[in-house]
Amino acid sequence: MGDDSSRPAMRGFDYDILKHTSHRPWPMPSGPWVMTQTWNDLLFAHWPVNAAQLRPKIPSDFTLDLFDGTAWLGIVPFHMTNVAPRGVPALPWVSEFPEVNVRTYVRVADEPGIYFFSLDAASALAVHTARTMLNLPYFTAEMSVMSENGLVRYASRRDGYRADAELHATYEPVGPPVHAAPGTLEYFLTERYCLYNLTHHDEPYRLDIHHLPWPLRPARAEFAVNTMAAVHGITLPDEPPMLHYVDRLDMVAWMPLSLVRRTDLALQPPMESEG
């Protein structure tokens, strides 16, 4: 599988998102943001999962976040453009590639965020950078995205380690976009403005992001193959997932913040002895 020529073209980044902050659950970080990304043709597919399945798989530094006593697992395929450090222009074939992630929801104190079990991407450079600098569980994958008349055909098969991680899905929006209201399940699953992870030295950190509220559209989807959760030992319930589609969303990200020292982390690769 390879990237398809019908994928969305690179489009200009909307820096006006930085002027709109009233929807955020906490203020933007005071330091400068360091990266842009645009998420296109995104599907949120969410399943309720017993918390006992997920809790042992999450570092003890983070509290598993529940909605009405239930944990949720999301599988999120999309196509990224405008992936570039601040001040560096986005370049075709470098700044755009498909990605699919497997995630759940955690919090530290009153700050809810995302915890990733895996992130598969069709860019070896992005995978290497994220693994080296952020210790994020990125994997290279053979991926293709075809979009025609609003219908997205998405295929991903991981390379190498756990190559049985595979997703073949067809999805499309079936209604207009709306912004989730605070307190709703839709808000709980999507309006999160940071991710949590551990460094190569097992120190917890938070990485803040900023974007406008998600323009969620109702969606329908068919999953011909989906082993993205199973490779983590997570069993999805035998019921249809909650589905939302997003046409496009621009975001910026900051340097990660150490939750031990409460300072920006110096992004250092793992020591050679750590492999």
Give me the tens of pLDDT residue by residue for the chain, a chain 275 residues long.
444 334 444 468 999 999 999 999 999 999 999 999 999 999 999 999 999 999 999 999 999 999 999 999 999 999 999 999 998 877 776 789 999 999 999 999 999 999 999 999 999 999 999 999 999 999 999 999 999 988 999 999 999 877 799 999 999 999 999 999 999 999 999 999 999 999 999 999 999 999 999 999 999 999 999 999 999 999 999 999 999 999 999 999 999 999 997 777 755 555 443 33
Residue 73 burial by Cβ neighbours in a 10 Å radius (0-12, 13-18, 19+): buried
Q: How far apart are CA 136 and CA 264, in angstroms?
A: 17
In the three-class reduction of DSSP (H, G, I as helix; E, B as strand; rest coil), residue 177 is classed as coil
In the three-class reduction of DSSP (H, G, I as helix; E, B as strand; rest coil), residue 264 is classed as strand
Q: How far apart are CA 209 and CA 35, in angstroms?
A: 9
Residue 45, token pair as written in the block: 């597919």
Fold designation for 32-260: Acetoacetate decarboxylase-like (2.40.400)
The alpha carbon dihedral of 234, 237, 241, 242 has a sign of negative
Contact of 105 with 185, CB cutoff 8 Å: no
Q: How many residues does the chain have?
A: 275
